[in-house]
Amino acid sequence: MPFSDYRTALVTGASSGIGAAVVRRLCAEGLQVHALARSADALQALAVETGCIPHAIDVSDTAALTALCAATPFDVLVNNAGVDRPRKLLQSQAEDVDLLVDVNLRAVLHLCRLVVPGMVERDRGHVVNISSIAAAYNFGGNSIYHATKAAISMLSRQLRVDACGKRVRVTEICPGRVATDIFAHVHGDSAEIRERFLDGFELPQAEDIAAAIAFAIAAPVAVNIGHMEITPTLQVPGGLTTVRPGQSQA
């Protein structure tokens, strides 16, 4: 069981939702977990609860990430931090592009650059990248988010090529809709938003995603679980739109 082979973990976006659930699960598995997010207060509360080591750092702060990764050799890296600005590219602003690329992609590239060489040198490690079903399916006019998550999907595959020959495993987790507060962060916390995205739906919980990650990590070291798509039973991605010339698309 590789959990016994691993000592340290770094989880980004750790202050709430999936990230906090992953911190709780990895702490319960006996790892020393470094929890990274912008919210110092939420991280401190999580540290009191779990014993994790909090780091109030913005993932776009490459210098701070570099210093953290130089100080601690991480055996498990969970790239969970992510943001969204749900607009079509035709209506997007420059800051939308910069924010999503910085948080959803650039930070992940830097963390893998900083952490994976040590894993290769030690001949052990596990990278878990949280992407989305948006990496594989087009829907909703959310172009920048889809593009960044698709890049994470390809990065996850490419990391295995780069580390080939060493016992470094890479897992991409692709959630669909999960019952977390991400919708409040993106759309605003209101009864309308909760009704639109959460109320009345049967949805996976953040703890379910954490359990899937733990399953992948706990697999025998000879097993790499490369890709897990996790959606509600009552959610199916896909669709087809056909319009006449000049007809606007809703």
Per-residue pLDDT tens over the stretch 96-152: 999 999 999 999 999 999 999 999 999 999 999 999 999 999 888 899 999 999 999
Q: Identity (one letter) of the amino acid at 95?
A: E
With cut-offs at 50, 70 and 90, classify the pLDDT of residue 239: confident
Beta carbons within 8 Å of 118's beta carbon, 6+ residues apart:
73, 74, 125
Q: What is the pTM of this model?
A: 0.93
For the segment 38-73, what is each residue's pLDDT rounded down to a tens digit?
Answer: 999 999 999 999 999 999 999 999 999 999 999 999
Maximum Cα–Cα distance for the chain, whole Å? 61
| 145: annotated active-site residue | yes
User: If you average pLDDT over residues 5-11, what whole number do you get?
Assistant: 97
From the candidates 6, 74, 145, 183, which is the catalytic residue? 145
User: If you average pLDDT over residues 139-168, what whole number do you get?
Assistant: 96
Q: Tokens 């990391």 label which residue? A: 159
For the chain, give the percent of residues with pLDDT over 70: 94
CA 229 – CA 176 distance, rounded (Å): 8
Domains and CATH numbers, the chain: 2-228 (3.40.50.720)
User: If you average pLDDT over residues 229-248, what whole number do you get?
Assistant: 86
